[in-house]
Structure 1
Amino acid sequence: MKSENTTYSPDSVMWEEVIPGGAHWSFNVKRGTTLRVTDIGGGANLSVLFYSQDEKLERYNMADTLKAQHTAHLTKGFVCYSDMGRVLCSITEDSCGWHDTVCGMTDAAQMLAKYGEARYQTHLNAMYRNGRDSFLIELGKWGLGKRDIVANINLFSKVSADEDGNLMFQPDNSVAGDYIDLRFEMDTLVVLAATQHPLDPNPQYQPKPVKLTAWHSELPGADDYCRNFRPENQRGFYNTELLYR
């Protein structure tokens, strides 16, 4: 197990929470907050969506995030763009090295075909949960619905493509103690689902827990690593800072 890099002061921690495997949650994060997501036992997948807290029609845009930064996956230095060209959050630290952006989330039909059925009426909290329905439950709490589901990020999961374009899931991408730090540049609604990756080859329903730790962090200066990681990011930060002047 990796030892966790404590790049923050314990006095700055706002809250800490463990998300059980299969669970879902949503909450608002203020600009100037860093959220660390830690893979507790290894092999976790956390599907995430981001929306502007003030105008929820503005949300994470996978296509703009990837093409603006010339990448197909996310790790330290990259930022998550909204569809208004602003930076929702930046990846300031990452011990894992690869987070999937293109494979989406599980749905009820896929779960039934792969794992069978385990409903609440028979299994209570051990019921089988899928990513899409988990997102819909959380989005409904904020007046959002099916049309507001967009391409999500799958934290801790690695999917690569071979020469023929076939997607390959790497089961051992994340080990116990791996973490990613998301520094929020906008007031953001965060929606989470700790469900298995849609390409996870595990024939058993075994979603893994993750830990969330939030703390106050400094706003990025002119020499910020993420701001200067790609030339395009400087423009994204400028657009974001105009919103808060």
Structure 2
Amino acid sequence: MTLNTYTTDIPGASHWSLRVRKGTLMRLTDLAGDANVGMLFYNPENLLERYNAPDTLKCQHTFKLTRGNCLYSDMGRIFASIVEDDLGWHESVCGNSNAAQVAERWGARDYQNARNEWHQNGYDAFLVELAKYGLGRADMAANLNLFSKVATDDEGRMQLVSGHSKAGNQVALRFEMDTLVLLHTCPHPLSSAESYPYTPVRIELSQAAPVGDDDFCRNFRPENQRGFQNNALYHLGK
């Protein structure tokens, strides 16, 4: 581990949160394959500002997220940019697994009885992290699912693409403003895995390179240029 770099491994069925500073690079690695990382963003200075999945997709004219895409707040600002991506597809439309789904698919197991082999779900995992910052159910937003790809059939039904992410695949986010990051490693809500998927993920935090005028994410879409301008105005007013 080099100076000013932090690394930690998050087991499957777990959750994590941190206030991440502007200019931080967060690299996530799928350690075993078929990972799912549910993720939410909030402005730590104003927790009413949070990740907005519909705006993120529609303003960049996309259904999938990959390198070049920015992750927007409901105030038109950019929490983070996707600066590296092995996969070419991450989804932000399917939301979270919940306790009823997990129990129906894999059986109910609580931590008190099963310990690390429990069957945690994404919704309750987020609630645990939200409570640490005085937030609750009313503050839950539509989340991002990194490493996950969905496809539709002729009837419009969505299915999770198994095997999309392989062991060692990575995605890196550069944070464009101070951000409260919440994440979990619980199953995707459309997972059809035979057994509960305990897929660990590595998190590496380091200092990102400065953003120049020729930055790939900044110029990926004209809308992103406006998003960066909104961020600049926000930081001038702080």
Q: Do 1:35 and 1:212's aligned partners in 2 also have CA atoms closer than 8 Å?
A: yes
Would you say 1:75 and 2:66 are equivalent positions?
Answer: yes
- Find the counterpart in structure 2 of residue 4 from structure 1: none
- Find the counterpart in structure 2 of residue 3 from structure 1: none
Once residues 83 and 163 of structure 1 are traced to their aligned partners in structure 2, the CA distance between those partners, rounded to angstroms, is: 33
Once residues 114 and 181 of structure 1 are traced to their aligned partners in structure 2, the CA distance between those partners, rounded to angstroms, is: 31
- Find the counterpart in structure 2 of residue 109 from structure 1: 100
Once residues 13 and 112 of structure 2 are traced to their aligned partners in structure 1, the CA distance between those partners, rounded to angstroms, is: 17
Once residues 75 and 179 of structure 1 are traced to their aligned partners in structure 2, the CA distance between those partners, rounded to angstroms, is: 11
SS in 2 for 1:198: coil
Would you say 1:93 and 2:84 are equivalent positions?
Answer: yes
How far apart are 1:31 and its partner, in Å?
A: 0.2
* Gap runs ≥5 in structure 2: none
Choose the corresponding residue for 1:51, options 36, 39, 42: 42
Q: List, as ranges, runs of 4+ consecutive aligned residues in structure 1 with deviation greater than 3 Å.
A: 10-13
1:48 aligned partner, one-letter code: M
How far apart are 1:164 and its partner, in Å?
A: 2.3
2:228 aligned partner, one-letter code: F
- TM-score (ref. length: structure 2): 0.96
> In the TM superposition, what are the counterparts of 1:35-184 in structure 2 within 5 Å?
35-184=26-175
| Percent identity of paired positions between Structure 1 and Structure 2 | 48
Choose the corresponding residue for 2:183, options 189, 192, 214: 192
Q: Please provide the CA RMSD for this pair.
A: 1.1
> In the TM superposition, what are the counterparts of 1:220-231 in structure 2 within 5 Å?
220-231=211-222
Stretch deviating more after TM superposition (101-110 or 161-170) = 161-170
- TM-score (ref. length: structure 1): 0.94
Task: Label 1:49 to 1:92 Cα distance change in 2 as closer, same or farther (>3 A).
Answer: same
Q: How many residues align?
A: 236
- Find the counterpart in structure 2 of residue 233 from structure 1: 224
- Find the counterpart in structure 1 of residue 195 from structure 2: 204
* Gap runs ≥5 in structure 1: 1-9
Would you say 1:29 and 2:20 are equivalent positions?
Answer: yes
Deviations 1:138-197 (A, max 9, x none): 000001100111110111000022332111211111001100000000100000110011
Task: Label 1:82 to 1:12 Cα distance change in 2 as closer, same or farther (>3 A).
Answer: farther
How far apart are 1:12 and its partner, in Å?
A: 5.3
Once residues 49 and 210 of structure 2 are traced to their aligned partners in structure 1, the CA distance between those partners, rounded to angstroms, is: 21
Q: Do 1:69 and 1:78's aligned partners in 2 also have CA atoms closer than 8 Å?
A: yes
